[in-house]
Chain A
Amino acid sequence: MKSFLLPEFLVERDENRCIQCKVCITQCGFETHYFDEELGRVMHKEERCVGCQRCAVFCPTNALIIRPHPWNLRPHANWTKERYYDLTKQAETGGVILVGSGTDKPHRIYWDHIVLNASQVTNPSIDPLREPMELRTYLGSKPDALEIKDGELETELPPQVKLETPILFSALSFGAISYQAQESLARAAKEVGILFNTGEGGLPQSLKEYGKYAIVQCASGRFGVDLDYLENSAMIEIKIGQGAKPGIGGHLPGEKVSEIVSRTRMIPKGTDAISPAPQHDIYSIEDLSTLIYALKEATNYKKPVAVKIAAVHNSAAIATGIVRAGADVVVLDGLRGGTGAAPKIIRDNVGIPIELAIAAVDTRLREEGIRNRASVIAAGGIRCSADVIKAIALGADAVYIGTAALVAMGCTLCQKCYTGICNWGICTQDPKLAKRLNPDITTERLVNLVKAWSNEIKEMLGGMGINSVESLRGNRLQLRGIGLADWELKVLGIKGAGE
């Protein structure tokens, strides 16, 4: 069938600058560029380009510009270029459109409608360069009260995990991402004193030494889960849902199940790794409780157990159920969370923004007097340190960063994660592409990101006259809304600016 689709991107090569060095050819895993022997010069096939910018970044003479194809259809507010593209693609293939990364739709980003407070006259601001500033955060269930006798703590504390800064790396599974990418996340987490998350892909034997910094996920496919895996961890996370695709399972294609992925996931090499949409032993809060306590029992009550859900309409009620089921940590993953592969229609239309979910859950847990019984981690679309601090002021204990960490590693959000080809060496098992990530360099990039954000968080805390992130948690008086409707302010539990 003749395709009616034009290429998504244009490759513009400045022939005055192109030195025919062929770097673009070596760097494109989609084989966009090629050398034409007859013409004696580098040429390209635009229809293969995904717009990842690898060639443009690596071109030694900046001879390449990759930009969206203008596609000069008559402008139409309803039948947009994207609608036309998807319709045509489906007419030609009959398939569900797959996509990677978080939604690119302009759902309201509440972070950009919330502003922070600062101290002026009546209370002093703090200079973090001169005075101590505490970002250390402990995740885990906190007792209702503490008993102290003769200066010693009598109450037995439930297991806690220590974070040097309230940031964690989101679940990114080995199998989806390359070994080098997981190694980088693990090493960076160790260096800055935070945690990384194995996703549902298990932890390779050769990365076992990083278990102390790992949140090990127990998801619906149960890949890589055994007693060693659970015991060699900082925390266990039961994954119920993911912000990018609430209600949808996972599917790692067999081509990505290499020898080491197969050993780590404990499935035969080359077979598809299918994670069912629900966990088939969890159809109720009672079932969830059974799994939580099974995992606690297996690890002698030494590890906090987290439950991760996608932020959906009734998250607050679900969260109380999760806490009452015995979880030590509730993880909320918002509408803008990322993925390696999801149906586009799901990614762009299902779930609620994380800002609203944090506020709703924190409010509900406080109302029920059980907020201390679990920590709350927010995930899904945390883009900068201001988002982190706003999430904490809304009621989160810490945040997961996934896409931000990927970008630090080199990801350019081309959204082609599901193809198994990643020119940046992140979301691939092709050994030639995966070695593009040098874990020494990538670890440094991740460490730099976390340090930079931590410094910025200290600056913002100092400005508010607060010297510990603990004092900001749920302190919504430090926030004001701009351009928000009454119902939005009410859900967020914040006042409008000037109020």
Chain B
Amino acid sequence: MKMIYPREEVCIACRYCEIYCAIEHSRSKDPVKTFKMESPQPLPRITLMEEGALSFSLQCRHCKEPDCAYACITGAMYKDKESGVVIHDPNRCIGCWTCILACTKGSIRRDESKRVAVKCDLCTHLEVPACVANCPNGALLYLEAV
């Protein structure tokens, strides 16, 4: 499977990854409408981590042994056997946040407005995930997992 790999040495902490992730997961897919009209606002599923000059964007690693999926009490979080993508089904999520406790990477966020977990879905409907396609400095790569 293909995975997103951050390159901290060229990450410019612009937060494009977060913005374009939110836009991609919006209803309108339009930057202005996403942030000015949509309620509740779609959350980015990627987080820019920053301290001084060090920055990179953190997203779900789609682990081979996903602790979040093992911990999920409703089966909302599961690893798709075929694609290897760790998928979250908001319809089955009860917002217990057990996945957040279990995730060792800190890649899952809470959507308080809907009381469900949100995480990177690798934009499987796109050829290249929105964060990677829109990164202005080549700081996110979409490569075959090693």
B15 touches A26 (CB 8 A): yes
B13 within 8 A of A: yes
Interface residue A220 (Cβ < 8 Å from any Cβ of B): no
Are the CB atoms of B34 and A441 closer together than 8 Å? no
- The answer to whether A431 has its CB under 8 Å from any CB of chain B is yes
How close is A311's CB to chain B, nearest CB, in angstroms?
38
Q: B17-65: which residues lie under 8 A (CB-CB) from chain A? A: 19-20, 31-32, 34-36, 52-53
Residues B15 and A435 in contact, CB atoms below 8 Å apart: no
Partner of A61 from B10, B12, B31 at Cβ < 8 Å: B31
The complex places the Cα of A199 from the Cα of B12 at a distance, in Å, of 27
Which A408-434 residues sit within 8 Å CB-CB of chain B?
425, 430-432
Are the CB atoms of A27 and B14 closer together than 8 Å?
yes
Known: A23-B15, A23-B16. A440 touches B138 (CB 8 A): yes
**Residue B84 lies at the interface, judged by CB distance under 8 Å to chain A:** no
Interface of A (DSSP majority class): loop
**A21 contacts which chain B residues (CB < 8 A)?**
15, 19, 35
The residues of B that contact A432 with a CB separation of less than 8 Å are 13, 52-53
- List chain A residues, Cβ under 8 A from B108: none
**Complex Cα gap A60–B134 (Å):** 10
- Residues on the A chain within 8 Å of B11, using CB: 435
Query: In the complex the two chains form, what is the Cα distance from A19 to B32 in whole Å?
Result: 6
A23 — which chain B residues lie within 8 A by C-beta?
14-16, 19
- B14 in contact with A435 (CB, 8 Å): no
Q: Say yes or no for B80: interface residue by CB 8 A criterion.
A: no
A44 interface hit (Cβ, 8 Å): no
B20 nearest in chain A by CB position? A60
With A19-B35, A438-B139, A441-B137 in contact, is A26–B19 under 8 Å at CB? no
A436 interface residue (CB < 8 Å to B): yes
Taking CB atoms, residues of chain A closer than 8 Å to B34 are: 19
How many residues of B are counted as interface, with CB atoms below 8 angstroms from the partner's CB atoms? 21
B38 → A minimal CB distance (Å): 11
Is A58 an interface position by the 8 A CB rule?
A: yes
Closest to B22 in A: A21
Q: CB of A20 within 8 A of chain B? A: yes
* Whole-angstrom distance between the Cβ of A128 and the nearest chain B Cβ: 33
CA gap between A22 and B15 in the complex, in Å: 8
Interface core residue of B19, B20, B52 (most chain A CB under 10 Å): B19
Q: Does B90 contact A (CB under 8 A)?
A: no
Tell whether, in the assembled complex, residue B13 and residue A26 are in contact, meaning their CB atoms are under 8 Å apart: yes
Chain A residues with CB below 8 A from B106, complex form = none
| B138–A438 CB distance below 8 A | yes
**In the complex, B9 has a CB within 8 A of chain A:** yes
**Interface residue A17 (Cβ < 8 Å from any Cβ of B):** yes
Contacts of B138 in A (CB 8 A): 438, 440-441
Chain B residues lying within 8 Å of A435, measured Cβ to Cβ, are: 9-12, 53
CB distance from B54 to the nearest CB of A (A): 9
- B75 adjacent to chain A (CB < 8 Å): no
Residues of B contacting A441 in the complex (Cβ-Cβ under 8 angstroms)? 137-138
CB-defined contacts of B139 to chain A, threshold 8 Å: 438
| Smallest Cβ-Cβ distance to A438: which chain B residue | B10
- The CA-CA distance from A431 to B13 in the complex, in Å, is 12
What distance in Å separates the Cβ of B73 from its nearest Cβ neighbour in chain A?
35
24 residue pairs of the A-B complex, CB under 8 angstroms, read: A16-B32, A17-B32, A19-B32, A19-B36, A20-B35, A22-B15, A23-B19, A26-B12, A26-B13, A58-B14, A58-B136, A60-B16, A60-B20, A60-B31, A61-B31, A431-B53, A432-B13, A432-B53, A435-B9, A435-B10, A435-B11, A438-B10, A438-B137, A440-B138
**Chain A residues packing against B (C-beta within 8 Å):** 16-17, 19-23, 26-27, 58, 60-61, 425, 430-432, 435-436, 438, 440-441
Q: Known pairs A27-B14, A435-B11, A436-B12; list 7 more (Cβ under 8 Å).
A: A19-B19, A19-B31, A23-B19, A58-B136, A60-B31, A425-B12, A438-B10
3 closest cross-chain pairs (CB), A and B: A19-B35, A431-B53, A432-B53
